[in-house]
Amino acid sequence: MIEQNVRMYYQRLFVDPLAARLKNRIQPDTITWLSGLLGVLVIPALLLNQVILAIILLLLSGYLDTLDGTLARFIHRSTAWGSILDIMMDRLVEFSVVFALWLIDPVHRALACLLMLGSILFCVTSFLVTGIFIANDSQKGFHYSPGIMERAEAFIFFIIMMLWLKAFTFLAVLFSFLVTLTAIIRLYQFYQYTKKSQ
């Protein structure tokens, strides 16, 4: 939701200039792998109680996630493998953050983290399966279906969870609800789309 409103400005100011400078200097897939690595490093950062470092790593990971695709388009090397790798690294980062949040207090956070992972699984599945059946008219590797909870919103939740420890359970339940709601709305929209297409 946030991305739909600010992506154009964010892209123009922070992503396109660096992508132009990186042309022919680094491969987009290398940036994708680095994005995943930075996300995984959130785990030791949080375990060592380095919250600010964990937040910086998460934000850098998210930034690289936007940079890799932009660079691929700049050098005309957008590939199916790149799209798949990008999706896999996104899920790796999300799992790493939830896993790190669970490791902070495994006993009391187990159910909340399980709900978060389940909602992410449900939502990502709805995103991928609807993308298979809707024609792609975007610059991305397949049809992109926006929703209430996207990466920007998820990162905001993750950061607040890292900073506001006492509100973790409430935030995790709210996160899970909104992510699940996003999936349900997406499935309903796809159902309406298929009815009109018949």
82-90 contacts at long range (C-beta below 8 A, 24 or more positions apart): 82/28, 82/29, 82/32, 82/141, 83/140, 83/141, 83/142, 84/141, 85/29, 85/32, 85/33, 86/32, 86/141, 87/128, 88/36, 89/32, 89/33, 89/35, 89/36, 89/39, 89/65, 90/65, 90/151
pTM of the model: 0.89
Residue 178 maps to which CATH number? 1.20.120.1760
Q: Which domain holds residue 106?
A: 2-197
> In the chain, how many domains are there?
1
Q: What is the pLDDT along the chain (198 residues), one digit of tens a residue?
A: 676 667 777 778 878 888 888 887 889 899 999 999 999 999 999 999 999 999 999 999 999 999 988 888 888 778 888 889 999 999 999 999 999 999 999 999 999 999 999 999 999 998 888 877 776 565 555 556 667 888 889 999 999 999 999 999 999 999 999 999 999 998 988 888 787 766
